[in-house]
């Protein structure tokens, strides 16, 4: 949802089909579980684009398009705790992320 044109089209189609939007649930996100030492810039940039810009695009477009009294519900979830602690994603380290309340960066070094 980092593509603003796709977000706008989604709202356009929804409004055309249903006559308006009352609630927008904002939960798009990706997470590549990779030791931070092996993470590459392309994956990091894509993660930020979806997880930050996508959320921003959704909130902004929702604020413009929801009917009076409408609501935007934004939340995140994480499965990273189900995997080895050495496989942290770069997303978990972004200070602006919705899931930044976790333990310090794990480098992949043996514990």
Overall average pLDDT of the 24-44 stretch: 87
Question: How far is 35 from 87, CA to CA, in rounded Å?
Answer: 5
- Tens-digit pLDDT profile for residues 21-32: 999 998 878 888
pLDDT exceeds cutoff 50 at 107? no
pLDDT on residue 74: 87
pLDDT on residue 70: 95
Q: What's the farthest any 2 CA atoms get from each other in the chain?
A: 56
pLDDT on residue 37: 87
**Which of the listed CATH numbers 3.50.50.60, 3.40.50.720, 3.20.20.80, 2.60.120.10 matches domain 4-93?**
3.40.50.720
Overall average pLDDT of the 1-10 stretch: 91
Segments making up each domain of the chain, as ranges: 4-93
Question: How far is 106 from 111, CA to CA, in rounded Å?
Answer: 10
Query: Which helix or strand (DSSP H or E) is residue 73 part of?
Result: strand 71-74
β-strands 23-26, 71-74 pairing: parallel
Taking the whole predicted model, whether its pTM rises above 0.85 is answered as no
Residue for token pair 């089209």: 9
% the chain with pLDDT above 70 = 68
- Tens-digit pLDDT profile for residues 60-97: 999 999 999 999 998 877 665 565 555 555 555 555 55
């Amino acid at each position: 949802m980092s593509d603003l044109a796709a977000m706008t089209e989604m709202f356009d189609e929804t409004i055309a089909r249903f006559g308006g939007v009352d609630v927008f649930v904002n939960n798009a996100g990706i997470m590549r579980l990779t030791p931070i030492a092996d993470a590459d810039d392309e994956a990091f940039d894509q993660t930020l684009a979806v997880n930050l810009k996508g959320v921003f695009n959704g909130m902004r477009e929702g604020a413009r398009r929801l009917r009076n009294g409408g609501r935007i519900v934004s939340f995140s979830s994480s499965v990273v705790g189900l995997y080895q602690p050495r496989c942290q994603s770069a997303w978990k380290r972004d200070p602006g992320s919705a899931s930044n309340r976790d333990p310090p960066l794990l480098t992949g070094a043996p514990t």
